[in-house]
Structure formats: structure tokens, C-alpha cells
A and B are shown apart, each in its own frame.
Chain A
């Protein structure tokens, strides 16, 4: 499911209402309105980068923060053992190197000995062990715990009713071998393990600063100490977070001295802030502004497909959606191309499955169901439906009618729901729109209390963590709330996670995409591009196909003089 920040939801509404007003107004030069833009206007060397975010972070602590805005701020503050590069290969970060045992169940990391925390204390293996034991502790409000299910003793340690003492376990999940060597023991070979260790979900927090404190409520969460290229110097809640380059960063001090995250909830106002020079980088730009910004030589417009995608899903274990012909019929009846072009103005790609085009596991061989209402009607009649009163299809005297649930706070969902409703009406299916506020929707989703949903998944750069939990039949109490069950897919998912050979893994996930295309458990929606607009004199950003990962590259960014 998409980790949306709550603030964005309200803002999507006010912003959308005002979006049309910005037409034709464009700033032509930066103005000395803010401290940050003053230097730029006079062409001096700039040492501050101001980023406009749609919402504030909640915690700057990767173990307890789960929302998208917190992730953005955590990237430059906390490093993890390893990180992804632009091609989703794993490269060293806090760990200089690592060995993996023959059976794929033991990972030994040799830490970089030159790393120091922002408070000057050395980074050691104790910090790594502390981070993971804190995360596994069921008292910790850790959103990412489930990603580490392969660790030995996971079930015992995370048992909320009676959590086990790590000392009592026959095989410990994390062992400190010496101050600069740490070992992870898994209960089964898990190919995605290095992938889940990347930041921010796998970022490391300091033992010394946090030991003996309640990690959910410690003041550390607002004044954190990390190992990243930037340290937090000021956080004015709801307004701004100021970071300063960390002189002793182990990969060299970053070029930009100061990074400021400014919270500007309204997307129209955020865009105006870019035009007036109040910010240098616009996060989450409104799509209806992108074409104008693109044609302006002052800005660089960049975008990347992250692992996220949107879909139209069903409760698969109940009629009528337990019939594959019905699901295929709806796949022919709903035209996501239209949604991509009308709602997202082309800043998205119609999806063909659960793996985005930037992944090594993606296959371009799969074709979408074309928009074909006639074929949809044929399939529905094969499934036993006949036209009834008012042209509504019916079976056994019951009309084909359902309510689409989704997040009412998301503008794209509201727009898509209306289009989907109209398209379904073309084939005699009556869809009511029953969007809910986010907390209500999430609870109903995970209680499988729905017939039809319009929602998305954030995903992970590695194909395992989300696909396994969404499609494996053992996960009906978790992300497989649509109750998908297919023994062939179960086997494919097991194959995909147990071998570390990328070619074999790719073969498994290509097969997964093929089976899911035929099975049509979702009407695949679209992969939306994560877009950024920034001052063209900014250099050195790299777009990594992971959620908000542009902020991982803040350490290499610089102002062109």
C-alpha cells in the first residue's frame, strides 16, 4: 500500500481546487526573498539547497518512522550497511565488504572503520546489533519489521504476547564478532536480504545515544544522531528542517553546506515557491504544472519509475471475482491508458504486472488487455451474466453491482474512480464510489472488508519483499488481503527468494508476471513516475529507482558556479 503522508491528502484537495489559477504566471528570475535565494540572485557561490516538501516528517529515526516524508529527511541523515546504485546493484556503505555463506543463510559484514557518528563517537558492530534488536522488539513501533522475517528467531523475538530474550535463542539473528565485524543468521536462504538492509528501512541508529530509552518517544527522534552526510541542526515543526554538512563524513564532506527541507503543503504554492526562488528543488510537483516547468530553461525536470504501482483489485476468494472470466472481462472493460493520459497527463506508464520497468526482473513481453468492451461483454456472458433491467448485467437474478473503496484523500484515486465507474457502466457493471478516509480504509483493507479497491503499493526495489507478501497463499492475514491463492505462484515465489543467482531469480519473476497476467487478480493500473523539478544549476543528483531515493544522492549534489 502506498505510504502516503496524511498531510498530502488534505492538501491534494485544496491544491486541486486552486491548481487552475497558476496558469500563465511564471517567475523569470530568482528574487532575494529568502536567505537561501539571496546568493543565487546575485550569482554568488551558493552553499544552501532548499527543498520544498508537501508535508513534515514525523520522526527522524528510521526504526520508528514509516511515512514518505520522514524517509526523505532520513536519507541524508542515516546510512545503512549497504545501498543501491542507479542500476539497483548493491554497493558498500557502512559495511566495506561482506561474505555470504554457501547455504545463503549467514551474512558477515566487515564494517568501515573510519565511520563516526554525528556526535563524534565511532560507529561499531554494537550499533548494528542494537538497531536490529530494537527493531525486532515488539514494543518498538517499527513499521519495517516484517522485511526482516528471514532473520533467525524472528517469530520468537517479535511475539508481542511473550517476546523471547535473544540470549535464550539457539541461533541469534545478529552476532557481534568483533567491534568491526557483525554476522546475520537467517532461518532460510533469502536472496533479498542485502536489498532489505538498504536505507532508510535498514538504516543504522546509535546504541550509545539510545540505549535504555523508549525508542518510540525519545527526544532523539527530533534531534537525531546519524552516520549520514548531513546532520540535523534545527527542526521547526511544521515549517522547516535544517541540515548541515557533516565534516567528518566517511565518504567525504558533501559539497553543499546546508540543506533545508521546507514544508509547503499546497502544491500550487509549492510550485510558486520554486518560481520565486524560495525553494530550489520541488518535491512531488503537481502533474498539471510539469509541462510548463519542462519548457522553462531555468529548471531541470527529472523523473523515475520507482517500484510503486496503482491497481484495481478484487476480493478474489468470493463470487463473482473468484471467476477468472469475470476478472478478465473487467481487465478488458477498464481503460487505464485513458487514466494515464487524462489524469496523469502521461507522467505514468500503464502497468502490465507488479514489477516496474526499472527493475531487473521486469519483462516487456507482457501485453496489457486492450480496451475492448465487446470482448468484456462476451466474457461476462460466458461467465453466466445476462443483461437485466436498466442494462445492468445480472446472474441468478442478482445485478452485477459493487462499491469501489479507496483513499478519498488521493486526488488521482478520486479521478480514476469516476473514469472506472463510467467505463464499467459501458459493459453493464454498476460501480458505486465508496471512498473512505485513509485510516478507515486501511483498517478495512487489512481486514479484507471490501469487494473492489482502487489503491497502490509502494513496493521495494527487490521483487521479493512485496510480491511474496502480496501473492503467497500463506499471507492472507497480511498484504495478501485480496486472498489470492495459486500453488504455482507459491512455488515461483519460493524459487525467487531462495536462489541468489540473478538470472534464475529473473526467470522466476518473469514467470510470475506471465501467470499473473493470465490470472488477472488485479486490473493492473499504472506505474507512476516520481517527479522532481530543480534549479538547472544543480548537478550531481542520481535517480535511483527506489522511493524518494534522489535524496540518497544529496551527498554528491553541488551548485554549478
Chain B
């Protein structure tokens, strides 16, 4: 397995290089520049020119790229224009919040969707099935900012059970429980948008698995229905779910802009939007490379999980 991992890691290098070249070109092709955010309303042409020179933006694009690359290869992704601190530090300050939110949402979505999907598949076209699919469809149809605001109105403003927004107590007071309380509403909101896809994938792959001859055989052997479902059908129906999970890794790191915005959650999603609007090229490159890395890692993890779920799949 380690040989396989090394090969995949080496394969990621040219891919990341390619991504960085394309990103670099695309970012600089976008109209406008960082002077709008850095100098704001007090801008003068002279200051804008001085700023571009000071940031090295007056150099030809290939020169700028080579400069960035040589520094990046030494582990320095540059300094964020908007915050004046190293890109890795900026990402480090926000990635924790995003991972907590996304991992929480993913866990909740799976915990709700997978059992519901299994139940729906075993009782297709009954009221349970229709209710579960209906709720899931509603979840994916509601925009997350709207669902988020409704939850805030209900649980924070009216019932006053949970805080409306924010990351948790600031300053010296407050602790773990306060933070968890702040996490609940955004996690539920974000999970709401994911439950539908997990549920539908689980349901359809379970339906497919349940129609296979080996299920009939298992039942004919007199196995208990729970064992038939979990051991024989579910395990074989896992592959599409694992694929979906692997794809979610990108989103674990990339952040959820709307949910983070509504709940004032200091994650990567909001940071990315700020970086785009501020034309913070080093930060944008850093963030997008991180996401590219997450996609590659997601694929590797998916491949590894495939063979755990299905021993017929081997790494080569």
C-alpha cells in the first residue's frame, strides 16, 4: 500500500504545478486589481502605480510566476495583500473553523441520511419512503442562507435556546460547551443541504443491491433480515456512498460561503470571497492549491476505502 501511496503522491506534483499555472493565468486575467481593496476610496493614480510596483505586479506575468513558484517551493506561499501576513498563516487561522463546521455537517448528514436511506429502500413507495425523500428534497431545495435565517429566528430569537451567530465566547471566559452551542445551528443548516444527496444515493444503491440474486440466496438460507440488510446488501451498496464522501473532502476544506456568512463563522468560505473581491492573488493561489490538494487527497482516500468495502478491489 505504501508504494501505491508514494506513486499517488508523486503523481500529484505535476497536477498541482499545472493547477498553479492555470490559476495564476486566470487570476491575472480577471479585470481589476488589488489597489481597490488596499487603497480604497483614497486612491490616486500615483499611489496605485507605487502599490503595483511594490507588490511586483508591474513585472511580466512569467517573471511573477517564477518568483512565486521559487518561493512556494521553499514553503513560502507569499504574503496576503489584504492581511499583510503569510498566506499559510491566514489559511491556518481559518481552516480549523471550516473543518469543524464541515466535518460536523458531514457526520450529521451521514448519521441521518444513511439509516433513512436504508429504511426507505427496504420499504419503497410507502409513506416512510415518501416522507424521507420529500424531506430530503426540501432540504436540498432550501437555500442555506434562508434555512439558516429561519433556524436563527426560531432557535435564537424566539425560543432563545441557542446563540444566533459567531464562533463562541471571545476573550478569556467561555469554554467548550459555549463553542459547541455556537456550532449547532450552522452544522444543522449545512447538513440540511447534504442529507438529500446522501439519502438518495443510499436508497438507490440499496435498492439495487437488494435486487441481486445473492440477497435472495441469503434470505433463502434463513438469515435474519437485519443481517441480510447490513452484511450483504449495505456493504455492497457502499461504493457510491464512498465516492460521494471522497468528493466531500474538497468541501470540507473549501468552506461553505453562504452558511459561514449567515452564521458569521470565520471559515475558509468567507475568506475566499474576500480574497476574490480584494484580488488577493497570493491568498487566492494558496486557497485554490489547498482545495486542489484536498481533491487529490479525497480521490486517494476514496480508492483506499473502496478496497476496504469491497475486497475484490485491489491497489495496483
Contacts from A to B (Cβ < 8 Å) = 1-4, 6-7, 9-11, 14, 17-18, 21-22, 25, 27, 31, 33-35, 58-59, 64, 66-68, 138-139, 141-147, 158, 160, 201, 216-219, 221-222, 233-234, 236-240, 242, 258, 260, 262-266, 268-269, 272-273, 275-276, 278, 409, 436-444, 446, 457-458, 469, 477-479
Additional A-B contact list (9), CB under 8 Å, known A269-B152, A437-B32, A458-B41: A143-B40, A240-B167, A264-B264, A265-B261, A265-B264, A266-B262, A266-B264, A443-B32, A479-B44
Residue of A nearest to B38 (CB): A141
- Chain B nearest CB, measured from A298 CB (Å): 14
Please give, as numbers and ranges, the residues of chain B lying within 8 Å of A239 by CB-CB distance.
97, 166-167, 170, 264, 266
A-side contacts of B213, CB under 8 Å = none
Q: Are A439 and B33 within 8 A (Cβ)? A: yes
> What residues of A have a CB within 8 angstroms of the CB of B30 in the complex?
440
| Contact call A272/B54, Cβ cutoff below 8 A | no
- The answer to whether the Cβ of B165 comes within 8 Å of any Cβ in the partner chain is yes
Question: Is B4 interfacial (CB-CB < 8 Å)?
Answer: no
State whether A25 touches B83 (Cβ < 8 A): no
Question: Residues 21-45 of chain B: 1 if any A CB is under 8 Å from the residue's CB, otherwise 0?
Answer: 0000000001111111111111111
Please state if A66 and B39 are interface contacts (CB–CB under 8 Å). yes
Please determine whether B169 and A35 come into contact, CB atoms closer than 8 angstroms: yes
Interfacial chain A residues near B271, Cβ < 8 Å: 238
B38 and A143 within 8 A (CB): yes
User: Contacts of B69 on A, CB cut-off 8 Å?
Assistant: none
Cross-interface CB contact of B270 among A238, A262, A272, A477, cutoff 8 Å:
A238
The A-contacting residues of B in range 166-188, CB under 8 angstroms, are 166-167, 169-171, 173-174, 178
B40 and A67 form a contact (CB under 8 A): yes
Interface residues of B in 27-85 (CB under 8 A from A): 30-51, 53-54, 79, 82-85
- Across the interface, which residues of B come within 8 angstroms of A439, CB to CB? 31-37, 277-279
**Pair B37/A477 contact, Cβ less than 8 Å:** no
Which of the four size classes fits the interface of chain B? Answer: 35 or more
Check if B157 is an interface residue, CB within 8 A of chain A. yes
Q: Which of A7, A18, A67, A276 contacts B145 (CB 8 A)?
A: A18
**Do the beta carbons of A141 and B39 come within 8 Å of each other?**
yes
Residues A1 and B43 in contact in the complex (CB < 8 Å), given A10-B273, A64-B84, A141-B51: yes
CB distance from B105 to the nearest CB of A (A): 18
A510 to B50 alpha-carbon distance, docked (Å):
36
Offer 27 A-B interface pairs, CB within 8 angstroms, sorted by A.
Answer: A3-B40, A7-B273, A18-B146, A18-B149, A21-B149, A22-B153, A35-B171, A35-B173, A160-B53, A221-B85, A222-B83, A222-B85, A237-B94, A238-B267, A239-B170, A258-B171, A266-B261, A268-B149, A269-B152, A276-B156, A276-B160, A437-B277, A438-B37, A439-B37, A439-B279, A442-B43, A444-B31
- In the docked arrangement, what's the CA distance between A64 and B40, Å? 11
Q: Say whether B274 faces chain A, with CB atoms less than 8 Å apart.
A: yes
User: Chain B's interface: helix, strand, loop or mixed, by majority?
Assistant: helix
* Distance (whole angstroms) from the CB of A403 to the closest CB of chain B: 15
Cβ contact within 8 Å between A33 and B163: yes
B interface residues with partner A (beta carbon < 8 Å):
30-51, 53-54, 79, 82-85, 90, 93-94, 97, 143, 145-146, 149-150, 152-153, 156-158, 160, 162-167, 169-171, 173-174, 178, 257-258, 261-264, 266-267, 270-271, 273-274, 277-279
Q: Contact check, B171 vs A233: say whether CB atoms are below 8 A apart.
A: yes
Q: A18-B149, A34-B163 are in contact. Are A142 and B264 (CB under 8 A)?
A: no
Residue among B38, B54, B169, B279 with max Cβ neighbours from chain A (10 Å): B38
| Inter-chain contact A260/B262, CB cutoff 8 Å | no
CB-CB < 8 A to B143: which residues of A?
Answer: 17
Known: A22-B153, A25-B157, A272-B152. A263 touches B266 (CB 8 A): yes
Q: Closest CB-CB distance, B81 to chain A, in whole Å?
A: 8
Instruction: Give the complex CA separation of A67 and B42 in angstroms.
Output: 10
Smallest CB gap from A233: residue in B: B171
Which single member of B43, B153, B171, B266 contacts A237 (CB below 8 Å)? B266
Asked whether, in the complex, the Cβ of B47 is within 8 Å of the Cβ of A143, the reply is: yes
The 9 closest A-B pairs by CB, nearest first: A439-B32, A238-B266, A442-B36, A3-B41, A66-B40, A440-B32, A6-B277, A3-B40, A160-B50
Q: For B36, what are the chain A residues with a Cβ–Cβ distance below 8 Å?
A: 438-439, 441-443
On whether the beta carbons of B47 and A145 are closer than 8 Å, the reply is: yes
For A262, the chain B residues whose CB sits under 8 A away are: 166, 170, 264
List of B residues within 8 angstroms of A35 by Cβ: 169-171, 173-174, 178
- A residues within 8 A CB of B261? 10-11, 14, 265-266
CB of A31 within 8 A of CB of B160, answer yes
CA distance A365 to B246 in the complex (A): 69
Which residues of B have CB within 8 Å of A273? 164-166
Distance between A281 CB and nearest chain B CB, rounded to angstroms: 15
Q: Which residue of B lies closest to A258 (CB)?
A: B171
Contacts of A25 in B (CB 8 A): 153, 157-158
CA–CA, A295 and B99, complex, Å? 42
Most buried by B among A409, A440, A477: A440
Out of A9, A144, A258, A268, which one reaches B277, CB within 8 Å? A9
Tell whether, in the assembled complex, residue A144 and residue B94 are in contact, meaning their CB atoms are under 8 Å apart.
no
Partner of A34, one of B94, B149, B169, B277: B169
- Complex CA gap A99/B47 in Å reads 31
**Chain B residues, Cβ within 8 Å of A437:** 32, 277
Partner of A3, one of B42, B163, B264, B277: B42
Task: A219 to B146: give the CA distance in the assembly, Å.
Answer: 38
Closest B residue to A219 by beta carbon equals B85
- Partner among B37, B44, B84, B153 whose Cβ is within 8 Å of the Cβ of A272: B153
A273 (CB) vs chain B CBs: closest residue: B164
CB distance from A203 to the nearest CB of B (A): 14
User: Which residue of A59, A139, A458 contacts B83 across the interface (Cβ within 8 Å)?
Assistant: A59
Shortest Cβ distance from A427 into chain B, in angstroms?
32
Of the candidates B47, B49, B165, the one having the most CB atoms from chain A within 10 angstroms of its own CB is: B165
CB distance from A192 to the nearest CB of B (A): 14
- Please name all residues of chain A whose beta carbon is closer than 8 Å to the beta carbon of B47 when the two chains form the complex: 142-143, 145-146
